[in-house]
Chains A and B, each alone.
Chain A
Amino acid sequence: MYRYDEYDQAIVDARVDEFRDQVARRLSGQLTEDQFKPLRLMNGLYLQLHAYMLRVAVPYGTLDSRQMRMLGHIARTYDRGYGHFTTRQNIQFNWIKLDDTPDILAELATTQMHAIQTSGNCIRNISSDQYAGAAADEVADPRPWAELIRQWSTFHPEFSYLPRKFKIAVIAADEDRAAMRLHDIGIQLVRQDGVLGARIFVGGGMGRTPMIASLIRDFVTADDLMSYLEAALRVYNRYGRRDNIYKARIKILLHEIGADEYRRQVEEEFSLVKQLGIDPPAAELARITAFFAPPAFDADAPDTVDRSDPDFAVWLDQNVAAHKQPGYAIVNISLKPIGGIPGDASADQIDLMADLAERYGFDELRVTHAQNIVLPHVRKADLHAIWQALSGAGLAEANLDLISDIIACPGLDYCALANARSIPVAQKIQARFADRGRQRELGELKLKISGCINACGHHHAGHIGILGVDRKGTENYQLLLGGSGAEDVSLGKITGPGFDEDGVVDAIERVTDRYLAERVEGERFLDTYRRVGFAPFKEAIYG
């Protein structure tokens, strides 16, 4: 994985110094809250329901065991012993003191970590495929491109006060594991005539006006990537709406002027920007790419696994994915134990995962947008030992992509923007479907819960989505069906009137019962829904 050189380190260290100065000025009264807020947000510091919350960046979801342990250390020393992994592949700490933040950032910087641009109206952390470098279906590792974009976007002087936040995802496989087309810019690496380049999608997003990104450019080579992105962002910075915060995302600009007109403006801008020499030379991408070279796999690693332990076999089938290297596998560590808090991990669990990565996984971990952790490169021969260690720490729930593997935002238990709680709903659904056989019978079923219309819990992209709303002071939950954040991307449709907490769990059960009655061999819930349509499910829910 990428390692800082003296330049990267100096930039992150300077940022720590800058934020220390900004915090001191806030505490001494030189800065009002109105002035300080955008500054702290650009460093990932929110004021939430109970305290300050610090969001730490995990660039493209990749980290090593030393960085992971640092997250555990922050949780233990400055927070209340846990952290929350997010749908943006980052981690949040919920109980941070403003006075402590400069020291926290200084500690993070010692392991090449930071909170730069994890909030604010700027280019946010670049997200990517959690199986990058391990999946057989990728045309290349997308992370060198993501790192190139990370550097370009860090403290970009022109794009730090955009109309609204800006999220970029980079993938390199046809299977989309990063919800690429639900980003402001989604990049898919492809090969044309042997040359690696990027397909550029623009204008996706969730929030209150969900949209799927449009293909804006078929192919951009690495030589032109920064110029092209600069042009794409400049058009947005100049013409994105600033009169209404709810219409300020780039998706609204595309919607209003049309993808063709946006494309025309970007091409015109690109023809000018390209003359400026802002693109790094090929040697820079080559330098970065070298950091992502495959680890030293053992070519003789045995390719078989002893499946005699039935519990282990279930976990293997559910949570372990195929690796491109014979003898190796990709382990998904579920942070969705039945009745737990989706995405939360204690400091001890964080340390354990770091230890496992160090001992068995070439020192690498990934955070997924589904709020789980991945060990991307492990020997099949070590899977049983890993599973045993995870089991002892409550980390071996065998439910990847099943109904209990729920994405949930923090909701009204933590978030100042939320209208309803998300976590208790997730817990009740998990309890209802706790039986492992029942979950597996239902198969792949992506359930996603947001506690408000901002959609941090990706409810629009859930096969089943839940949106929490405030109905006259009480929590109410709307149900959506048919969304997907994958390569078969689609937006869920609201079923009708909402429910209370127990009511929405009942409604989901009616939906899954209907699915079981309707499905034909080999169909996932989403396939059945698409084949039979909305009506049978609506009838099942409302009678």
Chain B
Amino acid sequence: MADPDMTSVAAEPQLRFRDDEPHDEPAVTLDAFLAGQSNATAVRLEAGDDARALIDHLDRIALVEVSFPTFRDGRGYSAASILREAGYHGELRAAGDVLVDQLPLMRRCGFDSFVPEAEIDAATLRRSLDRYDLRYQTAADAAVPVWKRRHG
């Protein structure tokens, strides 16, 4: 029987936008991580979990997996933004009901790997990611906002 804290088996992400080696340690729940019961370096956040609880521990985390129970639940976008704003550089994975049309927004919030429940068509994804070169806002990605292009 699986350890109840082991909420996911670290499958090879379908979509990964990082150059480092994939992290293959199973992710533990936020509660388990904070209880210090393990030396885990991979944490899974459920949609309602407070990402800020991880902020004091970011230097020993290599993977944060954020759950999307349905594609309509947008809390994970804030979780990702908060972690990147706090300086987290490890892998940030969106897992669950993740749709191709959402990937560009998720990339902007700092997600760099994805484990969607349903397979994503590669050609559609390519078009989706390449479509917008201009962005109005600053976010966790490297995009230069339009206002900065206008004013230098």
Direct contact of A and B (CB under 8 A): yes
CB neighbours (8 Å) of B124 from chain A are 21, 25, 30
Whether the pair A14, B132 counts as a contact (CB closer than 8 A) is yes
CA distance A284 to B135 in the complex (A): 15
Docked pose: A14 CA to B127 CA in angstroms: 11
- Is the CB–CB distance between A157 and B137 below 8 Å? yes
Cα-based distance from A17 to B127 in the complex (angstroms): 10
Given known A-B contacts A14-B131, A18-B131, A281-B151, A155 and B136 have beta carbons under 8 A apart: yes
Of B72, B81, B128, the residue contacting A158 (CB under 8 A) is B81
Q: Is the interface of B mostly helix, strand, loop or mixed?
A: helix
Is A264 in the interface zone, CB < 8 Å from B?
no
Contact A7 B134 (CB under 8 A): yes
The reply to whether A155 and B132 contact each other, CB–CB distance below 8 Å, is yes
Query: B136, A154: Cβ atoms under 8 Å?
Result: yes
- A277, B135: Cα distance in complex, Å: 15
Residues of chain A with a CB closer than 8 A to B81's CB: 157-158, 234
Residue-wise interface mask of A (234-269) relative to B, using a CB-CB cutoff of 8 A (1 in contact, 0 not): 100110001000000000000000000000000000
By size class, the interface of chain B is 35 or more
List chain B residues, Cβ under 8 A from A157. 77, 81, 104-106, 108-109, 137, 139
Query: A394 interface residue, CB < 8 Å from B?
Result: no
Q: Is the CB of B99 within 8 A of A35?
A: yes
State how many residues of chain A have any CB contact under 8 Å with chain B: 43
Within A125-183, the residues touching B (CB, 8 Å) are: 151-152, 154-163
Name, among A22, A157, A158, A283, the residue most crowded by chain B CB atoms within 10 Å (CB to CB): A157
CB atoms of A38 and B150 under 8 A apart: no
- Does chain B have a CB within 8 A of A276? yes
Q: How far is the CB of A186 from chain B (nearest CB, A)?
A: 22
Output the nearest chain B residue to A17 by Cβ-Cβ distance: B131
Of chain A, the residue at the smallest CB distance from B136 is A151
Contacting residues, chain A, for B121 (C-beta < 8 A): 30
Docked-complex contact A284 and B132, CB < 8 angstroms: no
Give complex CA distance A158, B124 in Å: 22
A156 touches B137 (CB 8 A): yes
Judged by DSSP, the binding face of A is helix
Which single member of B78, B108, B150, B151 contacts A237 (CB below 8 Å)? Answer: B78
Neighbour of A7 across the interface among B71, B137, B150, CB < 8 A: B150
A10 (CB) vs chain B CBs: closest residue: B134
Which A residues from 471 to 521 make CB contacts under 8 A with B? none
Closest to B138 in A: A278
Q: Is B73 an interface residue (CB 8 A)?
A: yes
> Is A313 on the interface with B (CB-CB < 8 A)?
no
Task: Produce 1/0 per residue, B75-90, CB < 8 A to A.
Answer: 1011001000100000
- Contact check, A121 vs B72: say whether CB atoms are below 8 A apart: yes
Of A8, A18, A152, A234, the contact of B137 (CB 8 Å cutoff)? A152
Set B78, B85, B135, B149: member contacting A155, Cβ < 8 A:
B135
Is A443 interfacial (CB-CB < 8 Å)? no
A276 with B85, Cβ < 8 A, contacts A157-B77, A237-B74, A281-B147 known: yes
Distance, CA A276 to CA B85, complexed state (A): 8
A22, B131: Cα distance in complex, Å: 13
> For residue A163, which residues in chain B have a CB less than 8 angstroms away from its CB?
74
Answer yes or no: A27 CB below 8 A from chain B CBs.
Answer: no
Residues 174-208 of chain A: 1 if any B CB is under 8 Å from the residue's CB, otherwise 0? 00000000000000000000000000000000000
Is B24 positioned at the interface, with any CB of A under 8 Å from its CB?
no
Q: Are A280 and B147 within 8 A (Cβ)? A: yes
Which residues of chain A are within 8 angstroms of B101 by Cβ–Cβ distance? Answer: 18, 22, 39
**What's the minimum C-beta distance from A535 to chain B, rounded to whole angstroms?**
46
| Minimum Cβ distance to chain A for residue B54 (Å) | 14
Contact of A38 among B71, B146, B151 (CB under 8 A): B71
Q: Are the C-beta atoms of B131 and A160 separated by less than 8 Å?
A: no
Which of B71, B73, B145 gathers the greatest number of chain A CB atoms within 10 Å? Answer: B145
Contact with A along B94-118 (1 / 0, CB 8 A): 0000010110111011000000000
Residues in chain B near residue A277, CB distance under 8 A: 138
Pairwise interchain contact B71-A161, C-beta atoms closer than 8 A: yes
A5–B109 alpha-carbon span in the complex (Å): 26
CB distance from A177 to the nearest CB of B (A): 28
* Cα distance, A25 to B120, chains bound together (Å): 13
Known interface pairs A35-B99, A155-B135; A161-B73 also in contact (CB < 8 Å):
yes
Q: Which residues of A contact B (CB under 8 A)?
A: 5, 7-8, 10-11, 14, 17-18, 21-22, 25, 30, 35, 38-39, 121, 151-152, 154-163, 226, 234, 237-238, 242, 272-273, 276-278, 280-281, 283-284, 287
Counting from the closest, the 3 A-B pairs by CB-CB distance are: A161-B74, A157-B108, A280-B147
A-B contact pairs, 17 of them (CB 8 A): A10-B133, A14-B134, A21-B124, A30-B124, A35-B99, A154-B136, A157-B77, A157-B106, A158-B139, A160-B77, A161-B71, A226-B137, A237-B74, A238-B75, A280-B151, A283-B151, A284-B151
Q: Taking A161-B102, A237-B75 as given, write out 9 further A-B residue pairs in contact, using a Cβ cutoff of 8 Å, ordered by the A residue number.
A: A7-B149, A10-B133, A18-B128, A30-B121, A157-B104, A237-B77, A272-B85, A278-B137, A284-B147
